[in-house]
Amino acid sequence: MTTHKRSFTTALWDFFCSLKLSISLLIGLALTSIIGTIIKQNASMDEYQHYYSDSTIRIFNSLGFFDMYHSWWFILLLYLLTVNLVACSIKRLPRVWKMIAEPTLVMDEGLEKSLSLTHEFKLAGDAATLRDKLTAFLSQEFAPPVITEVDGEYHLFAQKARWCRLGVYVVHLSIIIIFIGAIIGSTFGAKGFVQITEGQSVGSFVDRYTGKTVDLGYTLALRQFEVEYYPSGAPKEYRSFLTVLENGQPVPGLIDRKIIVNDPLTYKGITFYQSSYGTIHQLTMRDRKGGAPYKIEAADKEPVSLPGGGFAVIAESVPDVSPYMPGFTGPAVKVVLEERNGTQQSLILLQNNPQFDLQRGGAQIFTYDGKTKYFTGLQVAKDPGVWVVWLGCALMVIGICMAFFMSHRRVWARISKGQVVLGGTASKNQPGFQLHFDELADKLKKL
Amino acid sequence: METHNLINPLFSSKLFNITTICYFAAMVIFFIYLANRNRGVGLAASITAYAGFVVQTVAIGLRWQESYQLGVGHAPLSNLYESVVFFSWSIILMFAIVDLKLKYRVVGAFVVPFALLGMVWAQLKLDTGAIEPLVPALQSNWLLYHVITCFLGYAAFAVACGVSIMYLIKAKQEEAAGNASAGGVVAMFPSTRVLDDLNYKAIMVGFPLLTIGIITGAAWANYAWGTYWSWDPKETWSLIVWFVYAAFLHARFTRGWVGRPAAILSITGFIFTIFCYLGVNLLLSGLHSYGG
Ligand code: HEM
């Protein structure tokens, strides 16, 4: 029973230590990741119904394909990868560590045979003199050697860049650190969106994932929003001028701060990114029979309720109507009116022709008074894990450079009276090292 | 909105045409070199390719300068046309390293065609050639770091792919000819052992570059939108490519994954790379605007 048990745990351990598993996982992650790039993620059910049949939707839904990067099986693959990584490292690291911490100081016959680079030559002098000469030589030309005496012979050992053996483990550790950073971010962070109209402010936002309201701990006020255009009419820059207020008091340094795309504002761990904007239009509603005009302020596509029930929505707005309605000029809006009983009608309002709506013959007459204010749309992010992620990324680059471009080079010398045997090896780029090694040997012969 | 005031930079366009002609000539001379094994011809092939490279470098520089004169100054890396041109340039740069540092000139016959293909496609199919102003989302130095590292990485993978194709051809001929060394064009190829090693070396250069490319992309996304990773199709595909090459590197540690399987994996990796670069824009939708 116990042997069976042990063999099971051994088998499990071996399974997790195997490089075949890593390759399968890497390929598996690559292939499954494709699914989420073909099926649109986190779209609305309406949109899915447009593309797929109900039964397909049911199958995709149960497989988690509509949010596959957060599905249980994708997360499981990532966990397997992590366990695999840790297991492999636990198994291999001690051996590599030993090579770094306790190098083989003495080149015996066995080691000499295993080395592909060796040179043997005669030099005048007794062992102690040669030892001192070689020590000075290696210190100058390669690296300071460690000296060991065995049976009247001297052994020198010198090495370079032994730490690069750890490169692979630095890379693997970095992956785990990045995962930790991502987990910190998704546990303690929040993502959302706020919309602020010029002259107004916000003090909280709604987390997109949990639906909870997150208190900023301060308020953020928008003084002004601006758009700048290229001469061609393409947008050049979107600017929001924001002020952070704490207990109603502006925070020094964060008064009227300009933020643009690619230059966000961060305060107390929460960052605001310029993301979108819109305009507030002013309409006036009058009763055909007379009476006081009623002013309406509305953003594009946002319903506003009207006195006496019903809604108005600005479906579209254009700065110049002439391409659409020849003979007319100036700004225009298309408004959809929904009455209390549900009937809809749409009307066009022209800023330059306030009489235009008269001909519709409705009980109310609308005019378009133009744009009054902008509002700005800001992405809000709080991610305390992001620095851990960057730390992991930096480690990864360092580790990859160590693993790929640095080579652990070792040189041994066995010195007896009148004779020196030189041996060497490198963990990478052996041909390159051979050139260097032969050069060393040549110089040594001339000593 | 096709109403932009597009201004056609004429001079750099002409230089790009010369570049294309040079790469075409270089490819032809490389093929002659394969057939007649004359060292002088090989040298001529390389020199023609480098001449194209120099002209292209000047043209890219000029286009950069022209964009400043037009008052929309930005590095010439902002649309599909410009990125394909830069990709071609990177491929020749990587070839130059293999040629001049590692001394395997003949690899050019299988690498220069990729650069030529890029230029021809850019000139014929994508050529409005116009310098457009940058939309606000692209106005960041991160764009520069991100695009340059990614494309240098892709170019290294292109070299690995070219070398792998050579490997497969050579290995097949050697197999067919028994142990007698293969004759004809293939005899010019470096040995299978060298080709295999070159494949590994090219990926060893490409992988860190791709890694930095992905990281700078994430850093930029975080800086611009507050999310370093959003599983957008382009991001995901770059990660897929990264997984494939990571698998390649690990497969070298287990028996049997050098030589032929490694060559096939490398070619697969490059197909994925090209899909990541072009397929995603042309077939899928997402945040990245190239080719939009
Ligand atoms: C499933 C998880 C993984 C496991 C179990 C694993 C395991 C290993 C092992 C055992 C080695 C060889 C170490 C040696 O003996 O020298 C290695 C090398 C390496 N691994 Fe991983 N690895 C994993 C994932 C990754 C990932 C995702 C990357 C991505 C960057 C990576 C990058 C590397 C690199 C760059 C090397 C060195 C390759 C070379 O020297 O050519 N590993 N890995």
* Domain end marker among B104, B134, B164: B134
B102 and B153 together in one domain = no
A198 and A255 together in one domain = yes
A146 and A156 Cβ atoms separated by less than 8 Å: yes
All residues at 6 or more sequence positions from A160 whose CB lies less than 8 Å from its CB, including other chains:
A142, A143, A408, A409, A410
B197 and B274 together in one domain = yes
Q: What is the pLDDT of residue B66?
A: 80
Measured from the Cβ of residue A26, the count of other Cβ atoms closer than 10 Å reads 23
C-beta of A175 in contact with ligand 1 (< 6 A): yes
Contact with chain A for residue B2, Cβ under 8 A: no
A135 and A78 together in one domain = no
Q: What is the pLDDT of residue B245?
A: 95
A39 and A76 together in one domain = yes
A354 and A316 together in one domain = yes
All residues at 6 or more sequence positions from B286 whose CB lies less than 8 Å from its CB, including other chains:
B232, B233, B234, B280
A118-122, A397-401, B178-182: segment of lowest average pLDDT: B178-182
B19-33, B80-94, B185-199: segment of lowest average pLDDT: B185-199
Distance CA A145, CA A68 (A): 56
Q: Which amino acid is at A247?
A: N
A13-27, A290-304, B263-277: segment of lowest average pLDDT: A290-304
Find the distance separating the first CA and the last CA of chain A, reported in whole Å: 68
Q: What is the pLDDT of residue A127?
A: 86
Q: Is B227 helix (H, G, I), strand (E, B) or coil?
A: coil
Cα angle B187, B189, B193; round to 5: 110
C-beta of A88 in contact with ligand 1 (< 6 A): yes
Among A98-112, A304-318, B119-133, which range has the highest average pLDDT?
A98-112
Please report whether residue B68 resides in a domain. yes
Query: Using 50, 70 and 90 to split pLDDT, how confident is the model at B130?
Result: low
How long is chain A? Answer: 447
CB contact under 8 A, B254 and A41: no
Distance CA A296, CA A367 (A): 10
Q: For residue A103, which phi and psi values (nearest 5 degrees)?
A: -65, 155
Please report whether residue A168 resides in a domain. no
B260 and B247 Cβ atoms separated by less than 8 Å: no
- Enter the ipTM: 0.87
Domain encompassing residue B15: 7-134
A365 and A344 together in one domain = yes
State the distance from the centre of ligand 1 to the C-alpha of B27, rounded, in angstroms. Answer: 37
CB contact under 8 A, B254 and A262: no
Mean pLDDT along residues A341-368? 86
Domain encompassing residue A142: 103-161+409-445
CA A167 to chain centre: 22
State the distance from the centre of ligand 1 to the C-alpha of B90, rounded, in angstroms. Answer: 27
CB contact under 8 A, A262 and B211: no
All residues at 6 or more sequence positions from B262 whose CB lies less than 8 Å from its CB, including other chains:
B164, B196, B199, B200, B248, B251, B252
Mean pLDDT along residues A382-391? 95
**Residue B42 C-alpha, separation from nearest chain A C-alpha, in angstroms:** 25
**Torsional sign, CA B272, B278, B284, B290:** positive
B161 and B238 together in one domain = yes
Distance CA B58, CA B51 (A): 11
> Which has the higher per-residue pLDDT, B282 or B206?
B206
**pLDDT tens by residue, A40-99:** 888 888 888 888 888 999 999 899 888 889 899 999 999 999 999 999 999 999 999 999
Instruction: State the total domains in chain B.
Output: 2
- Tokens read off for B241: 């490519």
C-beta of A85 in contact with ligand 1 (< 6 A): yes
A192 and A206 Cβ atoms separated by less than 8 Å: yes
C-beta of B253 in contact with ligand 1 (< 6 A): yes
Query: Using 50, 70 and 90 to split pLDDT, how confident is the model at A5?
Result: low
Is residue A72 packed enough to be buried (19+ CB in 10 Å), middle (13-18) or exposed (0-12)? exposed
Of the candidates B45, B6, B289, the residue with the CA atom closest to the CA atom of residue B133: B6
Q: What is the pLDDT of residue A163?
A: 92
* Residue in chain B nearest A67 by alpha carbon: B231
B71 and B171 together in one domain = no
Give chain B's mean pLDDT: 84
B16 and B120 together in one domain = yes
Distance CA B62, CA B64 (A): 5
Q: Between A and B, how many CB-CB pairs are < 8 A?
A: 119
DSSP characters for B229-240? ----HHHHHHHH
**Residue B76 C-alpha, separation from nearest chain A C-alpha, in angstroms:** 17
Query: Using 50, 70 and 90 to split pLDDT, how confident is the model at B55?
Result: very high
State the distance from the centre of ligand 1 to the C-alpha of A171, rounded, in angstroms. Answer: 7
Mean pLDDT along residues B79-98? 91
Please report whether residue B142 resides in a domain. no
State the distance from the centre of ligand 1 to the C-alpha of A172, rounded, in angstroms. Answer: 7
Among A139-153, A340-354, A389-403, which range has the highest average pLDDT?
A389-403
Distance CA A176, CA A184 (A): 12
Could you tell me the maximum CA-CA distance found in chain B, to the nearest angstrom?
65
A270 and A209 together in one domain = yes
CB contact under 8 A, A397 and B215: yes
B200 and B62 together in one domain = no
State yes or no: pLDDT of B174 exceeds 90.
no
**pLDDT tens by residue, A265-306:** 999 989 999 988 888 888 998 888 888 888 888 888 888 888
Q: What is the pLDDT of residue B13?
A: 81
**CB-hemisphere CA count at 13 Å for B200?**
21
B205 and B272 together in one domain = yes
C-beta of B254 in contact with ligand 1 (< 6 A): no
CB contact under 8 A, A400 and B254: no
Please report whether residue A137 resides in a domain. yes
Chain B residues within 8 A of A191 when measuring between CB atoms: 226-227
Q: What is the pLDDT of residue B256?
A: 59
A356 and A290 together in one domain = yes
B97 and B180 together in one domain = no
A272 and A385 together in one domain = yes
Mean pLDDT along residues A162-167? 92
All residues at 6 or more sequence positions from A441 whose CB lies less than 8 Å from its CB, including other chains:
A119, A121, A422
**Residue A405 C-alpha, separation from nearest chain B C-alpha, in angstroms:** 9
Please report whether residue B2 resides in a domain. no
**Residue A250 C-alpha, separation from nearest chain B C-alpha, in angstroms:** 24
A271 and A286 together in one domain = no
B157 and B263 together in one domain = yes
A270 and A387 together in one domain = yes
* Domain end marker among B134, B156, B190: B134
Of the candidates A173, A165, A160, A209, the residue with the CA atom closest to the CA atom of residue A189: A209
> Which has the higher per-residue pLDDT, A236 or A57?
A57
CB contact under 8 A, A397 and B208: yes
State yes or no: pLDDT of A25 exceeds 70.
yes
Q: What is the pLDDT of residue B71?
A: 66
* Domain end marker among A42, A60, A95: A95
C-beta of A168 in contact with ligand 1 (< 6 A): yes
Please report whether residue B1 resides in a domain. no
Give chain A's mean pLDDT: 89
Q: What is the pLDDT of residue B129?
A: 56
Please report whether residue A17 resides in a domain. yes
Please report whether residue A351 resides in a domain. yes
**Torsional sign, CA A169, A175, A181, A187:** negative
Angle between helical axes of B10-36 and B80-96 (0-180°, round to 10):
40
Query: Using 50, 70 and 90 to split pLDDT, how confident is the model at B159?
Result: very high
**pLDDT tens by residue, B222-259:** 988 888 998 888 899 999 999 999 999 988 876 557 88
State yes or no: pLDDT of B128 exceeds 70.
no
**Torsional sign, CA A48, A54, A59, A62:** positive
Distance CA A164, CA A184 (A): 30
All residues at 6 or more sequence positions from A355 whose CB lies less than 8 Å from its CB, including other chains:
none
* Domain end marker among B110, B134, B158: B134
* Domain end marker among A55, A75, A95: A95
A403 and A164 Cβ atoms separated by less than 8 Å: yes
A153 and A186 together in one domain = no
Mean pLDDT along residues A412-426? 91
DSSP characters for B117-171? HHHHHHHHHSTT--B-PPPGGG-SHHHHHHHHHHHHHHHHHHHHHHHHHHHHHHH
State yes or no: pLDDT of B59 exceeds 50.
yes
Chain B residues within 8 A of A38 when measuring between CB atoms: 284
CB contact under 8 A, B226 and A33: no
State the distance from the centre of ligand 1 to the C-alpha of B243, rounded, in angstroms. Answer: 11
A268 and A386 together in one domain = yes
- Tokens read off for A413: 């010398």
B90 and B183 together in one domain = no
State yes or no: pLDDT of A323 exceeds 50.
yes
Find the distance separating the first CA and the last CA of chain B, reported in whole Å: 12
Q: What is the pLDDT of residue A76?
A: 94
B200 and B262 Cβ atoms separated by less than 8 Å: yes
**What percent of chain A is predicted at pLDDT more than 90?**
42
State the distance from the centre of ligand 1 to the C-alpha of A161, rounded, in angstroms. Answer: 20
**pLDDT tens by residue, A94-114:** 999 999 999 999 998 889 999
Please report whether residue B210 resides in a domain. yes
**Residue A248 C-alpha, separation from nearest chain B C-alpha, in angstroms:** 27
Place of tokens 């546990």: A187
Please report whether residue B198 resides in a domain. yes
A113-117, B33-37, B162-166: segment of lowest average pLDDT: B33-37
State yes or no: pLDDT of B72 exceeds 80.
no
Nearest CA to ligand 1 atom 28: B246
C-beta of A135 in contact with ligand 1 (< 6 A): no
Chain B residues within 8 A of A231 when measuring between CB atoms: 5
Q: Is A366 helix (H, G, I), strand (E, B) or coil?
A: strand
**What percent of chain B is predicted at pLDDT more than 90?**
45
Contact with chain A for residue B101, Cβ under 8 A: no
Q: What's the whole-model pTM score?
A: 0.84
* Residue in chain A nearest B229 by alpha carbon: A182
**CB-hemisphere CA count at 13 Å for B224?**
22
State the distance from the centre of ligand 1 to the C-alpha of A77, rounded, in angstroms. Answer: 17
What does the H/E/C string look like for A97-161? Answer: HHHHHCCCCCCCHHHHHHCCEEEEEECCCCHHHHHHHHHHHHHHHCCCCEEEEECCEEEEEEEEC
C-beta of A22 in contact with ligand 1 (< 6 A): yes
B20 and B13 Cβ atoms separated by less than 8 Å: no
**pLDDT tens by residue, A172-217:** 999 999 999 999 998 999 999 998 988 889 999 999 888 889 999 9
Chain A residues within 8 A of B251 when measuring between CB atoms: 23
Mean pLDDT along residues A245-255? 90
Q: For position A123, which CATH number holds?
A: 3.30.310.50
- Tokens read off for A360: 């519709």
Distance CA B142, CA B187 (A): 46
B118 and B177 together in one domain = no
Distance CA A395, CA A179 (A): 13
A430 and A108 Cβ atoms separated by less than 8 Å: no
Place of tokens 């990864």: A396
* Residue in chain B nearest A380 by alpha carbon: B226
CB contact under 8 A, B227 and A271: no
Instruction: State the total domains in chain A.
Output: 4
Residues linked to residue B89 through DSSP beta bridges, in sequence order: none
State yes or no: pLDDT of B285 exceeds 60.
no
B45 and B152 together in one domain = no
